[in-house]
Amino acid sequence: VISNLPYMMLCCIPLFAFVLKILYIRRGIFYIDHLIYALHIHTFAYVGVMLIGLIAMGLNRTVPGPVAGWIIGLLWSTFAVQIFLSIRRVYRQGWFFTIFKFFVGGFVYLIVLCMGLVATFLATLKWS
Print pLDDT tens along the chain (128 aa).
Answer: 788 888 899 999 999 999 999 999 988 899 999 999 999 999 999 999 999 999 999 998 888 888 888 999 999 999 999 999 999 999 999 999 999 999 999 999 999 999 999 999 999 888 87
pLDDT at 40: 96
pLDDT at 115: 94
Instruction: Name all contacts of 45-52 with Cβ < 8 Å and 24+ positions apart.
Output: 45/83, 48/79, 48/82, 52/76, 52/79
d(CA 16, CA 72): 27
pLDDT at 14: 95
pLDDT at 127: 84
7 alpha carbon, distance to own chain's centre: 16
Whether 74 contacts 82, CB under 8 Å: no
| pTM for the structure as a whole | 0.85
pLDDT at 128: 74
pLDDT at 63: 84
pLDDT at 3: 86
Four-CA torsion 10, 12, 14, 16, nearest 10 degrees: -140
d(CA 27, CA 5): 33
Q: In angstroms, how far apart are the furthest CA atoms of the chain? A: 51
